[in-house]
Amino acid sequence: MRKVWADYLQPNGTLRNLLGITNAETLQKIEYKISTQQQQALIQNQYRLPNGQQLTGRKIEEMKLINAYLLDQIYDWAGHYREVDFNKTMDGVVTFFHPVALFGNAELDIQRQLDDYAQLPDDREKIAQALGSLVTEINMFHPFREGNGRTTRLFTAVLARQHGFEINYTQEQQAAYMRASVADDAALMGQVFLAVLEG
């Protein structure tokens, strides 16, 4: 049976978690600490998971592996797609993310883009443009209950490495990335990647 919102929450509204934390602020701090440690470990290990699997960015399923690696100490649903529809409101504007019923279509579309991306020449402008489109699509997919942004940024770093690039953000570029994400603007996101790709 598909989950409803209440299945993810404790009676007081805090996310259910494996650590028994009932205070939302405490949970947020611990989640940030653990996921940041996991993120740094993944980067240090050249995006190789503890089981030896090398992330390549060629399959959409790798996003599940990244999300699980970041958060499976905290949530039992880490690494699994959300089972509830989701939207966000920012500055009075409501954004509806991809409905769960159409996740199969979203996966196929993103996988097609990943296949096309793998065939691109190692050209900085083409890679930046393609990453802008991919990240905008993935942002609208928003497949996980928690950790979408962190998962996407790590997956993007793996995609850049596929073509011999690294991604390094300044504080200003991180802000530009967030603006492009909020605007759901692939061209704007592509400009951000053009500024942050190195190699």
Q: Under DSSP, is residue 85 helix (H, G, I), strand (E, B) or coil? A: coil
- Helix-strand-coil split of the chain, %, nearest 5: 55, 10, 35
Q: Is the pLDDT of residue 186 over 70?
A: yes
CATH of the domain at 60: 1.10.3290.10
Q: What does the pLDDT read at residue 2?
A: 67
Q: What does the pLDDT read at residue 3?
A: 77
φ, ψ dihedrals at 89, nearest 5°? -120, 125
Alpha-carbon gap, residue 180 to 111, rounded angstroms: 22
Entry pTM: 0.94
Q: Domain limits at 109?
A: 5-198
**What is the average pLDDT across 141-160?**
96
First and final C-alpha spacing in the chain: 47
**What is the average pLDDT across 149-156?**
96
Q: Which of 135, 89, 96 is nearest to 113 (CA)?
A: 135
8 A C-beta contact, residue 30 and residue 21? yes
Q: What does the pLDDT read at residue 5?
A: 81
How many structural domains are present in the chain? 1
8 A C-beta contact, residue 12 and residue 22? yes
Over the stretch 56-89, which tens digit does the pLDDT of each residue have?
A: 999 999 999 999 999 999 999 999 999 999 877 7
What would the two tokens of residue 107 be?
């996966």
Q: What does the pLDDT read at residue 86?
A: 83
State the chain's mean pLDDT as an integer: 94
